[in-house]
Amino acid sequence: MLDAIGVSDIDQLFSEIPAELQSGRLTNVPPGIPEMELARVMTARSQQDGRYINFIGGGVYEHHIPAAVWELTTRGEFYTAYTPYQAEASQGTLQLVYEFQTMMASLLALDISNASLYEGASALAEAILAAVRVKKKARTVLIPRAVNPVYRKVVETIVRNQNIKLVEIPFSATEGTTEVSALRDYEGDAVAAVVVPQPNYFGLLEDVDTLTDSAHELDALAIGLVNPTAMALLKPPGNWGSDGADIAVGEGQPLGIPLSSGGPYMGFMCCKSKYVRQIPGRIVGRTRDDQGNDGFTLTLQAREQHIRRSKATSNICTNQGLMVVAATLYMSLLGPEGLRRVAARCHHNTNILVEKLTAIDGVKRCFEHPFFHDVVIQLDQPVADVMRAIEAQGISAGIDLSSEYPELGNALLTCATESRTVDEIENYATHLERILSRRSLDPPCAEKVAQ
Amino acid sequence: MLDAIGVSDIDQLFSEIPAELQSGRLTNVPPGIPEMELARVMTARSQQDGRYINFIGGGVYEHHIPAAVWELTTRGEFYTAYTPYQAEASQGTLQLVYEFQTMMASLLALDISNASLYEGASALAEAILAAVRVKKKARTVLIPRAVNPVYRKVVETIVRNQNIKLVEIPFSATEGTTEVSALRDYEGDAVAAVVVPQPNYFGLLEDVDTLTDSAHELDALAIGLVNPTAMALLKPPGNWGSDGADIAVGEGQPLGIPLSSGGPYMGFMCCKSKYVRQIPGRIVGRTRDDQGNDGFTLTLQAREQHIRRSKATSNICTNQGLMVVAATLYMSLLGPEGLRRVAARCHHNTNILVEKLTAIDGVKRCFEHPFFHDVVIQLDQPVADVMRAIEAQGISAGIDLSSEYPELGNALLTCATESRTVDEIENYATHLERILSRRSLDPPCAEKVAQ
Amino acid sequence: MLIFEQSRAGCTNPSQAPDDDSDISDIPQYLLRDTPPNIPSVSELQTVRHYTRLSQKNFSIDTHFYPLGSCTMKYNPRACNKYAMLPEFLNRHPYSSVQTGQGFLACMFDLQEILQDITGMKAVSLSPLAGAQGEFTGVSMIRAYHDAKGDSERVEILVPDAAHGTNPATATMCGYQVREIPTLADGDVDLDALRQAVGPRTAGLMLTNPSTLGVFERHILEVAQVVHGAGGLLYYDGANLNAIMGKVKPGDMEFDVIHMNLHKTFSTPHGGGGPGAGPVGVNERLLPFLPIPYVIEDGGEYRWAVEQDCPRSIGRLSANMGNAGVLMRAYIYARLLGREGMRRVAEFATLNANYMMQCLKHNGIEMAYPTRRATHEFIATVKTLKEENGVSAMDVAKRLLDKGFHAPTVYFPLLVPECFLIEPTETESKEELDGFIKAFTDILDEAREDPEMVKNAPYTTPVRRLDEVRAARDMDLAWGDS
Amino acid sequence: MLIFEQSRAGCTNPSQAPDDDSDISDIPQYLLRDTPPNIPSVSELQTVRHYTRLSQKNFSIDTHFYPLGSCTMKYNPRACNKYAMLPEFLNRHPYSSVQTGQGFLACMFDLQEILQDITGMKAVSLSPLAGAQGEFTGVSMIRAYHDAKGDSERVEILVPDAAHGTNPATATMCGYQVREIPTLADGDVDLDALRQAVGPRTAGLMLTNPSTLGVFERHILEVAQVVHGAGGLLYYDGANLNAIMGKVKPGDMEFDVIHMNLHKTFSTPHGGGGPGAGPVGVNERLLPFLPIPYVIEDGGEYRWAVEQDCPRSIGRLSANMGNAGVLMRAYIYARLLGREGMRRVAEFATLNANYMMQCLKHNGIEMAYPTRRATHEFIATVKTLKEENGVSAMDVAKRLLDKGFHAPTVYFPLLVPECFLIEPTETESKEELDGFIKAFTDILDEAREDPEMVKNAPYTTPVRRLDEVRAARDMDLAWGDS
Ligand SMILES: Cc1ncc(COP(=O)(O)O)c(C=O)c1O
Ligand SMILES: Cc1ncc(COP(=O)(O)O)c(C=O)c1O
């Protein structure tokens, strides 16, 4: 090959690189190892991490994933294809995405779905940017404090530089749901969008109808932020209030995607047809080939960076395609009824969890309000210490809310999906009871010293 | 559908079954469980079994298996196809088997390979039956005592009813290899075949050239019984002696097939062309389609049960096809050089193991003779007790030979494949040393009582 | 293109090969190999691409309706694969102690119990590696039984003419002579002929029920009586168990010994030819002869029953204990379906077969046993087409491939000319069945209008009609030898 | 057929659905959904078959040569998938304590170190989820840097006209104006134009090197000097890092911030569109602004650096910590290849590209930069063909599909008319490259002889040439809405 090129060694191929730069020798990259040794390293590390019985939710859930999902998702033809730029050579991915779009749009009762964004929080940011594009002049966006605090931070990072004002809407101290009345304070302001979570971060069910109508009264778009599993049971954004939410987004992880320490997941985004040109991300359409047969292709690319460059709706290019494969397989394997039962079982199990935990002295629910499958529990002791003690029993108890929501005291966000058994729930309660009572009788050393 | 059939319920479809038989109600089959619960059951059972550092060989070896092997082998198109009866719709499997046949025949330096038999021991039995068919009148078969004792039992079970005389050939008490001179006792007998193992069960290298030539002098076929990994290094059966072995068989498990508590594995069988009509099992041939293009099909089916029925070479029908897929992928991923290095590393590691173990007081090699990757170690205490103590340290020490070969005393068959690290080998030695010295100072209670 | 044609000498995959620094100098030179084998030297990508592309040339259950009669090509749940391949299961050495395998052995023990219940037999051994080895095991037990009684006159095994080829082949392997029993026009065994055939030479009868003709042997109890009356034993070929699980138990039909094809009834994958698993079940009579090893519970621990436990056992069939990974998949399948699921399998398999049979009959296709109920399968024949238009069952089969359906089993059983043994299985949807019915019907129309077209099928497969005669004549069985 | 067209209301998979006995009566009726969503009700087999068959309609690395320029479509080692998906890794919740993830975090920490070494940067954060998010992160840091200095005049990001679309789109998302810098005929940046463009409004320059034109920017040090001299920062788009790993470090080229596309250089699979991972590296200057979380070692334990640790960080890009599973695959890849392997990647990627370029040139195909060395990719153009025969780059691309090759990137970069950006990657064999060279050359012959034939390609794909205009006009974006 060197001969064909007309050089005598490979180094000559790099001759255009200034000599003073050619010293890229790697020193910190370890030497290569064969797969056998790699297997040993990775197995050891995975075993170091072990397995915990998981009661953590907060937007990411341990659901059962049918074996077929990943056995098919990792087929080379899905796994190692690129974005379907050559439609005729990518009908597999394209038809699948079209089917995904159909399922998601229907699950959310909206007209249109895109082919995924990175994940839930950045999807929310993108929805806000889309709303601002729709509303042009209006640059205020109302976000409930009852939205996942990390989501609010991500939105801040992403929209910060675009002259958008993010306003926090408080939640009711007693109900834990967004203060609908607070929206009225922004009448007359140029509000581009109101974010409406369902359920909210505390698992509580918002009055989505009123919030959506109120948003529209402000002449703002209503952006639904939803858990897709919940949508199998709850009223979908497209049906909220009299006109429905305009855009809805969320984290797609619950649809067949493993926890995996945080990713890859996928964000979904649906909207009313009239906003289709404002949303970011790939979209697949059905069309015909020159013989009149149905086929699928990427479409409406004039929104995207590779065509519109600095005028694009977003800079997104690579999305989370393979997660869309997994989610589509997951939904197809469960069907509408299976999905509904999963949602119902999650809620059922969390109700059992609430019952067992609140039967313990010093444990109560923070809010007595209808909820779905996440719940805030209040302890009579600092959450972090209790969680550490429970973790020693192989149980991940939930999320400590005390630094993000100091107003809630020793608050713990927890949940029990369909993956948890009643035995596991009881085991959690037993340990919690023991830990709380032991600690209140006999606080650990550090606290003794402090006393 | 019932309407189309013209019945009103499914039970009517069973109306031809005598009523008194229709009480097949299941009582001991547990109720069905969803996959989620199944996952829990199976995960718990797998964790109960745990993971042991494995120094057991004896014909089945823990080799590294490239990830690609099983990610491809379990592709639906391989995994869920039937035996390729419709050749035009099975070219994937057929071409793969043709490639497998080529690789195996070449690895063994014989002309022809079949498409697999069940596993090593029954493959040996089938080879013996084939030899008897070739030799017609001759019905004596000589099998060295140095052949895996389980193989000898299986052969006995399978050929027992066909009026074949199996004769055991002893091994040299000092060398551990088959007594070539013992073959001479059968001159004049109607010997159909001599089995020539390489390496033998003790890992020792036989004088295959002389054994093969001796077999031919008896006018018997020489049947090689070989470890396929070893074949990457050692002289292959087709090259043994002046004419080469006539048939060679063995256990294909080392070629990319997981240990899996004993199966599924696969037996391989190769032979000289002239015996092709006597061997059992599927064979794939290359041919042409009616446009003149190359294609592949099952061939020489006139040997098989579905054509020849009671006159077939064997009753085998279903074979171990998927394992052939795995083995073909394995060989292709490693290549001849990779295979050779694996074999060399196994031997190298076992040499280290021998060195470390025999450095311990009371431990020595049974036979000082060239070997390959299995070795017999003699202890100064009963093997079973020592193995139990080592197992408590997470180590599987090997195979206790004392009941099958009482003449060898406290003999342990052990090996270290390329999967074992030097650390693991040293750890084994350290535990063995500790256990042997503790036990010789202070035998466990049972022994005390006995004293 | 063959993988060998992509090979480039000297190309090694560093990720897959250990370093080349091993010392093997202690092995004498004359025992070493002197030329490397003809195994390809290709990159990992070349291997992956080559075999991925090859795989796409297969029809399979995951891609096509595959109604091969007698083969029970149904959906192989992916869960069975995933959970049978948990790392701890894969990494356990067969010769490691039973204490390291209590989880695995529990599955095997449970599976034995499940199979006992389904078959109505007294005990089960999981060790046979496929149906044919199960047959060998069963007939060996029959022989051991007669031998134990000193009854050495019994040298014949009776086999219906409709039987699968493995039945007579097995009898031969067990040292028996084979005597064929004819079938009546209605598909049942000719009882009179059977009565004539039995006697002091009769070791036993091998029977498949539902039979390979796709009908249930209605006189099974008489058959049993005749054979038992003559001192013979009754062997059940369980290949068609799918049709009767949870409905009828072979034990109740008075069979003495049975094998099951777990790769059929229990949906373990066929893998392009195997592996399978052919456990055997026995009644009290044959219990002592059961092959080892099988799992027993002993003081709260599972262990293998071995020679010492079973001195009269016929022995071992393989170096290990059976196709463990296949058995695990079957166990998982059984747990997923459970007792109601098993029954539903039989019901829907039978429903689908009867539906197809009626629809095809309605479309004018000839049935071998038109007055009988189909079991889980049934036989259609195109012998009239063959006579009138010269288009054979093989031609129709090939044309089916073009329509996106794998062909049913053809030319088996041997006694029905130009036949198709069609087994839809319970996991196929009505839409799929309707598609096949239409395709089959259309092909018969095509065959009458344009027989040549059908005779030259297939057209859309990776290769066109293959020359099988050439394959057998020219014998190109390995690359490079021609 | 769509999966919806196979749906049959009421069909549930008992294996996948929990029992229907959950109590949800505490949820008020008015909050519940009243009609089920349009998700198909099909059997598990139908799902498996449908999507297995769909998958076969894709070209992919595992099945085809796929020389998409700028995309680095190379072999994705199966080991990366297998070991990233070990059950313990998959089952760990992102919000569980770091004590439950020390094994995982060790991998992430090591990966950060590896990427630092390869890029020559001071620190790395793994959190961006793709290249474009990496760009967003980098430019946000540039802005944070200027803001921290109170330098609010800097409102412009400079971008070469050859830049990838994400570069200008990113600048806009960060609130910057975009100013394009022209490219010279030899493929290098127009230095004079750059000197003219920089000034107090310059926040920074985004540059890809090797550039998207398939050449190495020879005056990179002058470019850096000019931009830095004007007070701007230098952003490195690492999409093309594959060409220089172990040869040149972006840090040595004086870049202040860089993103990497691990789904290109580190061979994590593209998955039909994603996911990717776009870690960023920074030098000392931008260190305080690095996005959180990233992994730090703290008293012998790995943990996430969060807000409290990094008060000036630009913040978080996603709810969790990055595409962890992708990062694991990249880490495994890096460990398999190691330092020598990385260098070999760059060398063989460059060798393959130069070989293809020379062969195609030799066959008369026009190159955009014929006098330059190719890097890991190069640009060919068919503008003459277009002028003379009316056959466009798109037509040639479609015809390549018929020959079994995925087309290279077409019509990018925008400044070369009728262009192909061809990136073979290091994992392809010479045979594959030769096959492509021949196919491409043959197509140009075909195009001259029978332009219509090429203009109507492809012929062998599951569908023929698709009507993209209709797709955008009729907007059929979900089934059932038309
Ligand atoms: C009726 C019948 N009996 C026996 C067998 C043999 O089973 P196996 O192929 O598992 O050896 C088969 C399978 O083809 C069969 O259909
Ligand atoms: C030069 C260049 N920059 C940036 C990107 C964007 O990367 P990503 O697709 O990962 O967002 C790409 C990928 O297409 C690219 O080729």
Residue range A316-339, pLDDT digits in tens: 999 999 999 999 999 999 999 999
Q: Is the peptide bond before A199 cis (omega within 30 degrees of 0)?
A: yes
| Nearest C-alpha neighbor of D321 from the set D107, D116, D86, D173 | D107
Residues of chain A contacting residue B40, judged by C-beta atoms under 8 Å apart: 421
- pLDDT above 70 covers what percent of chain A? 97
Distance from CA of C336 to the nearest CA of A (A): 13
Query: Which residue's CA is minimally distant from atom 14 of ligand 1?
Result: C71
- Which residues have C-beta within 8 Å of that of residue D474, sequence separation ≥ 6? A285, A287, D482
List the beta strands (DSSP E) in A199-344.
Answer: 221-226, 247-251, 267-271, 284-288, 294-298
Return the H-helix or E-strand segment holding B143: strand B140-144
| Confidence tier at B293 by pLDDT (50, 70, 90) | very high
pLDDT in tens, D346-360: 999 999 999 999 999
pLDDT at C481 over 90: no
CA distances from C394 to A37, C123, C410, C436, D185 (A): 52, 42, 7, 16, 66
The pLDDT assigned to B442 comes to 62
The reply to whether residue B71 touches residue D17, judged by beta carbons under 8 angstroms, is no
Q: Is C242 in the pocket of ligand 1 (CB under 6 A)?
A: no
Cβ pairs A/D, distance under 8 A? 676
| Confidence tier at C482 by pLDDT (50, 70, 90) | very low
CA B260 to centroid of chain Cα atoms = 13
| Residue B244 one-letter amino acid | G
D381 in helix, strand or coil?
strand
Enter the tokens of residue D141. 């840091």
pLDDT in tens, C129-184: 999 999 999 999 999 999 999 999 999 999 999 999 999 999 999 999 999 999 99
The DSSP call for residue D174 is T
| Confidence tier at A442 by pLDDT (50, 70, 90) | low
| Confidence tier at A75 by pLDDT (50, 70, 90) | very high
Return the H-helix or E-strand segment holding A428: helix A422-441
Enter the tokens of residue D222. 């002058």
**What are the residues facing A142 on neighbouring strands?**
A167, A194
pLDDT at A25 over 80: yes
Enter the tokens of residue B29. 């089959």
Mean pLDDT of D386-412: 97
- pLDDT above 70 covers what percent of chain B? 97
Return the H-helix or E-strand segment holding B97: helix B91-108
The pLDDT assigned to A448 comes to 47
Q: Is the peptide bond before D67 cis (omega within 30 degrees of 0)?
A: no
The DSSP call for residue C401 is H
Distance in Å, CA C259 to ligand 1 centroid: 10
The C-alpha atoms of residue A162 and residue B301 are separated, in whole angstroms, by 75
Q: How many CA atoms lie within 13 A of A30 on its CB side?
A: 15
The pLDDT assigned to B23 comes to 84
Q: What are phi and psi of A286, to 5 degrees?
A: -90, 135
Enter the tokens of residue B45. 């059972």
The DSSP call for residue C150 is T
- Which residues have C-beta within 8 Å of that of residue D268, sequence separation ≥ 6? D76, D80, D262, D276, D277, D326, D329, D330, D333
| Confidence tier at B24 by pLDDT (50, 70, 90) | confident
Mean pLDDT of C423-428: 98
The pLDDT assigned to B279 comes to 96
| Confidence tier at B448 by pLDDT (50, 70, 90) | very low
pLDDT in tens, C33-88: 999 999 999 999 999 999 999 999 999 999 999 999 999 999 999 999 999 999 99
Return the H-helix or E-strand segment holding A251: strand A247-251
| Residue A430 one-letter amino acid | T
pLDDT in tens, A148-197: 999 999 999 999 999 999 999 999 999 999 999 999 999 989 999 999 99
Q: Does B42 touch chain A (CB under 8 A)?
A: no
| Confidence tier at A444 by pLDDT (50, 70, 90) | low
The reply to whether residue C401 touches residue B88, judged by beta carbons under 8 angstroms, is yes
The C-alpha atoms of residue A218 and residue D119 are separated, in whole angstroms, by 50
Enter the tokens of residue D102. 């020390």
Return the H-helix or E-strand segment holding D207: strand D202-208
Q: How many residues does chain C have?
A: 482
Chain B positions contacting chain D at CB under 8 Å are: 32, 34-36, 43, 66-68, 71-72, 76-77
- Which residues have C-beta within 8 Å of that of residue A243, sequence separation ≥ 6? A212, A213, A216
| Nearest C-alpha neighbor of C4 from the set C40, C28, C35, C33 | C40
| Neighbour subunits, A (≥3 Cβ pairs < 8 A) | B, C, D
The C-alpha atoms of residue D440 and residue D405 are separated, in whole angstroms, by 9
Q: How many CA atoms lie within 13 A of C196 on its CB side?
A: 9
The reply to whether residue A71 touches residue C77, judged by beta carbons under 8 angstroms, is no
Which residue reads 């005990």 in tokens? C123
Q: Is C208 in the pocket of ligand 1 (CB under 6 A)?
A: yes
Which residue reads 């030819």 in tokens? C273
Enter the tokens of residue B355. 């060195």
pLDDT in tens, C267-298: 999 999 999 999 999 999 999 999 999 999 99
Helices (H), C174-253: 191-197, 220-229
Distance in Å, CA C345 to ligand 2 centroid: 51
pLDDT in tens, A203-262: 999 999 999 999 999 999 999 999 999 999 999 999 999 999 999 999 999 999 999 999
pLDDT at C30 over 70: yes
The pLDDT assigned to C10 comes to 84
A5 in helix, strand or coil?
helix
Which residue reads 């894709």 in tokens? D58
The pLDDT assigned to A449 comes to 45
- pLDDT above 90 covers what percent of chain D? 98
The C-alpha atoms of residue A408 and residue A401 are separated, in whole angstroms, by 8
10 Å Cβ neighbour count for D438? 13
pLDDT in tens, A139-157: 999 999 999 999 999 999 9
The reply to whether residue C92 touches residue B259, judged by beta carbons under 8 angstroms, is yes
3-state helix, strand, coil split of chain A in percent (to 5) is 45, 15, 40
pTM of the model: 0.97
Mean pLDDT of B87-102: 98
The pLDDT assigned to A450 comes to 45
Mean pLDDT of B129-150: 97
pLDDT in tens, D50-70: 999 999 999 999 999 999 999
The reply to whether residue C335 touches residue B32, judged by beta carbons under 8 angstroms, is yes
Return the H-helix or E-strand segment holding A150: helix A149-159
Which of C21, C78, C328, C332 to mutate against chain A (most A CBs within 10 Å)? C78
Choose the closest CB to A315 out of D34, D136, D316. Answer: D136
Which residue reads 């049974």 in tokens? B366
pLDDT at B433 over 50: yes
The pLDDT assigned to B444 comes to 53
The pLDDT assigned to D295 comes to 97
A125, A159 in Cβ contact below 8 A? yes
C248, C217 in Cβ contact below 8 A? no
Enter the tokens of residue B210. 């002389």
Mean pLDDT of C1-29: 93
pLDDT at B451 over 50: no
The pLDDT assigned to B441 comes to 63
Residues of chain C contacting residue A36, judged by C-beta atoms under 8 Å apart: 18
The pLDDT assigned to C480 comes to 87
pLDDT at A447 over 70: no
Which residue reads 């018997």 in tokens? B220
| Residue B241 one-letter amino acid | G
A10, A2 in Cβ contact below 8 A? yes
Distance in Å, CA C277 to ligand 1 centroid: 11
D336, D266 in Cβ contact below 8 A? no
**What are the residues facing D409 on neighbouring strands?**
D421
Nearest 5°: the CA angle A156, A159, A160 is 65
The C-alpha atoms of residue D31 and residue D8 are separated, in whole angstroms, by 27
Q: What are phi and psi of D178, to 5 degrees?
A: -105, 135
pLDDT at B168 over 60: yes
pLDDT at C307 over 50: yes
ipTM above 0.95, yes or no: yes
The pLDDT assigned to C12 comes to 87
The C-alpha atoms of residue D479 and residue D482 are separated, in whole angstroms, by 7
Mean pLDDT of the residues in chain C: 96
Enter the tokens of residue D146. 């200027």
- Which residues have C-beta within 8 Å of that of residue D67, sequence separation ≥ 6? D73, D405, D406, D408, D422, D423, D424, D425, D428, D436
Q: How many residues does chain B have?
A: 451
Mean pLDDT of C7-13: 89
The C-alpha atoms of residue A128 and residue C379 are separated, in whole angstroms, by 64
B257, B232 in Cβ contact below 8 A? no
Q: Which atom of ligand 1 is nearest to the CA of C212?
A: 1
